[in-house]
């Protein structure tokens, strides 16, 4: 993690883990923890040892929070720990400031000293930066030179503020002009005008905290976070002590954020340079549940985001991809039996009264006439079709020229292929996993079964005689107009005569059969 903050280091690891998981190989939590610890520098050796020797396993959220806390501790110790200038062994030297510092054994003794305030080694309570008395001044001596950073852009926790305050408009998300006449009253009694209001986020290693009602006060010198509003908007609580603060989750009591006190103030030292980022089109796209670009652009004026001319989302491509619709068939037939569509339905969950479980459907492409043949097994398809071929070719004085089916085993076995070849019939097969190419037979299945169920429900009969109901449904459909030919009925197109409806009765109605004597 050279030249990286802890937040950047952990973010890189998370991106790599997510990329590997999206490729179909999720990584175990233990492996992620092992990889994270191995990438830490030597200054984290004590931390790594404490994590590896824990009695209970640690979670990723807790580990990330502890690492961010350890980063603050290490940087604080490096900044505040002073070192004597003398380096000679076994002799004393006068250091800057007129004091005499003994090096040699004295350094080893100092390394073994444990502070009574913070319980850390290497310094005494006199030089501890966690001291309760911040006004205490240590005797002057040379320290490690360190540049004093400006804190004008930092945020400070304030228990007396009723709203979050900032002088920088870039810290606001969805900024709106402040229309009220209210002002902010500061400690000296003066009133500061409010220019804008908005909201923002406070990122932590485990989750993002919401900052609502942020007021933009241009004349403010420091950014303030209202503790009361922070705790109100997020399910958390805060603990203050003389050395710093702890922000914890109210349910899990997990540490969300922590930091030291500095001259009586509690600054928030974040690895990020800003609190908020403007919501872009892709951000709202993810928040709104990946709507279509056309639908999302209709909300652009309301949610105030710019709409790009082109938009690409990998998740949408993976989740919403579908097969293009099939174009309508342009092939036409000019006479009956020129093309037959066929398919098998079954097995039925209910065995019929005649022990049938399947049925074979044959549809003439030219007339849309149905033939339905009940089957006890799929092996009966070939003999049934052989008898059907003899019947229709004799009755209508024409030959079957083409036979359209799917790739079912009952249609592509060697016996069936040889029969079609010997009969001079062209076998048209649909592509694998493409039932749309045999769509006419598939649609007729649906029409036939829907009609059968309607008849059975209306007659209030059990499911056992489903074959008889199926044959009745096919009989009636052949005498009804079709969308392809609304003026010529399938029966009329095949037999060249209009059907007779005078003998039809409601299916399942009461009837009295005549039984001739002596029965």
Please give the pLDDT value at position 325: 58
DSSP string, 124-143: -GGG-TT-S-TT--PPP---
pLDDT band at 132 (very low <50, low <70, confident <90, very high): very low
pLDDT in tens, 201-214: 887 777 778 888 88
Ordered strands of the 173-177 beta sheet: 173-177, 196-203, 208-216, 164-166, 223-226, 155-158, 267-268
pLDDT band at 372 (very low <50, low <70, confident <90, very high): very high
Q: What is the reported pLDDT for 389?
A: 96
d(CA 106, CA 83): 12
Least confident of 51-55, 268-272, 439-443, 510-514: 268-272
Task: List all residues 6 or more positions away from 515 whose beta carbon is below 8 Å from its beta carbon.
Answer: none
User: Using an 8 Å Cβ cutoff, are 268 and 259 in contact?
Assistant: yes
Of 175-184, 343-352, 386-395, 418-427, give the lowest mean pLDDT range.
175-184
C-alpha 405/C-alpha 401 separation (Å) is 14
Average the pLDDT over each of 50-59, 304-313, 343-352, 449-458 and give the range with the smallest value: 304-313
Share of the chain above pLDDT 70, in %: 79
**Residue of higher predicted confidence among 513 and 305:** 513
> Which of the residues 158, 249, 343, 364 is marked catalytic?
158
Please confirm whether the linkage preceding 347 is cis (ω < 30° from 0).
yes
CA nearest to 320, candidates 365, 354, 285: 285
pLDDT of residue 35: 85
Higher pLDDT, 94 or 48: 48
Does this model's pTM top 0.75? no
pLDDT: which is higher, 142 or 503? 503
384-397, pLDDT tens digit by residue? 999 999 999 999 99
- Mean pLDDT, the chain, integer: 79
Residue 426 pLDDT exceeds 70: yes
pLDDT the model gives residue 111: 53
Which residue has better confidence, 303 or 260?
Answer: 260
- CB neighbours (10 Å) of residue 103? 18
Q: Looking at 69-78, 109-118, 290-299, 465-474, which range is the least confident one?
A: 109-118
Asked if residue 97 has pLDDT above 50, the reply is no
Q: How far is CA 64 from CA 30, 257, 439, in A?
A: 14, 11, 57
Predicted confidence (pLDDT) per residue in 7-34, tens digit: 788 888 888 887 787 677 778 888 888 8
265: left (phi over 0), alpha (psi -120 to 50) or beta: beta
pLDDT tens profile 164-196: 888 887 777 777 888 888 888 877 778 888 888
- Helix-strand-coil percent breakdown of the chain, rounded to 5? 35, 20, 45
What is the structure's pLDDT at 515? Answer: 84
pLDDT, residue 341, reads 93
pLDDT at 328 (0 to 100) = 59
pLDDT in tens, 114-130: 565 555 566 655 555 44
Specify whether 12 is catalytic: no
pLDDT in the model for residue 489: 92
What would the pLDDT profile of 195-242 be if each residue is shown by its tens digit? 888 888 887 777 778 888 888 888 888 888 999 989 988 889 999 888
Residue of higher predicted confidence among 501 and 283: 501
The alpha carbon of residue 76 and the mean position of all alpha carbons in its chain are separated, in whole angstroms, by 40
């Amino acid at each position: 993690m050279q030249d990286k903050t802890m937040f950047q280091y952990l973010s890189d690891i998370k991106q790599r883990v997510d990329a590997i998981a999206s490729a179909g190989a999720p990584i175990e939590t233990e492996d992620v923890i092992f990889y994270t610890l191995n990438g830490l520098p030597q200054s984290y050796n004590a931390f790594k040892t404490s994590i590896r020797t824990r009695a209970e396993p640690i979670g990723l959220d807790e580990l990330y929070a502890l690492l961010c806390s350890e980063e603050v501790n290490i940087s604080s110790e490096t900044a505040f720990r002073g070192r004597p200038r003398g380096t000679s062994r076994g002799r004393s030297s006068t250091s800057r400031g007129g004091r005499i510092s003994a090096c040699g054994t004295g350094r080893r003794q100092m390394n073994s000293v444990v502070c009574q305030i913070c319980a850390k080694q290497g310094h005494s309570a006199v030089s501890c930066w966690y001291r309760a008395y911040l006004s205490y001044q240590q005797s002057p001596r040379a320290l490690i030179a360190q540049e004093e950073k400006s804190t004008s852009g930092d945020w400070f926790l304030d228990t007396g503020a009723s709203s979050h305050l900032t002088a920088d408009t870039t810290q606001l998300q969805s900024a709106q002009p402040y229309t009220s006449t209210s002002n902010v009253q500061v400690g000296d009694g003066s009133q500061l005008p409010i220019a804008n209001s908005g909201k923002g986020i406070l990122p932590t290693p485990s989750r993002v905290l919401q900052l609502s009602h942020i007021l933009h006060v241009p004349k403010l010198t420091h950014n303030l976070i209202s503790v009361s509003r922070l705790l109100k908007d997020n399910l958390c609580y805060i603990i203050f002590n003389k050395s710093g603060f702890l922000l914890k989750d109210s349910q899990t009591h997990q540490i969300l954020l922590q930091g030291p006190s500095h001259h009586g103030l509690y600054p928030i030292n974040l690895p990020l340079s800003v609190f908020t980022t403007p919501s872009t089109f892709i951000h709202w796209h993810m928040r709104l549940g990946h709507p279509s670009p056309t639908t999302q652009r209709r909300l652009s004026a309301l949610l105030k985001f710019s709409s790009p001319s082109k938009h690409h989302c990998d998740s949408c491509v993976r989740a919403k991809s579908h097969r293009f619709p099939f174009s309508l068939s342009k092939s036409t037939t000019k006479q009956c039996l020129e093309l037959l569509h066929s398919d098998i339905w079954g097995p039925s969950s209910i065995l019929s009264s005649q022990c049938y479980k399947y049925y074979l459907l044959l549809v003439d492409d030219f007339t849309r006439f149905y033939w339905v043949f009940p089957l006890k097994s799929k092996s009966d398809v070939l003999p049934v079709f052989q008898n059907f071929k003899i019947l229709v070719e004799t009755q209508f004085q024409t030959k079957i020229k083409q036979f359209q089916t799917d790739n079912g085993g009952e249609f592509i076995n060697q016996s069936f292929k040889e029969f079609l070849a010997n009969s001079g019939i062209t076998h048209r097969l649909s592509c694998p996993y493409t039932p749309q190419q045999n769509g006419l037979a598939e649609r007729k299945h649906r029409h036939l079964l829907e009609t059968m169920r309607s008849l059975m429900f209306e007659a209030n009969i059990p499911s056992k005689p489903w074959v008889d109901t199926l044959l009745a449904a096919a009989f009636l459909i052949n005498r009804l107009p079709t969308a392809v030919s609304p003026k010529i009925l399938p029966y009329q197109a095949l037999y060249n005569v209009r059907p007779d409806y005078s003998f039809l009765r409601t299916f399942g109605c009461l009837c009295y059969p005549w039984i001739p004597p002596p029965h």
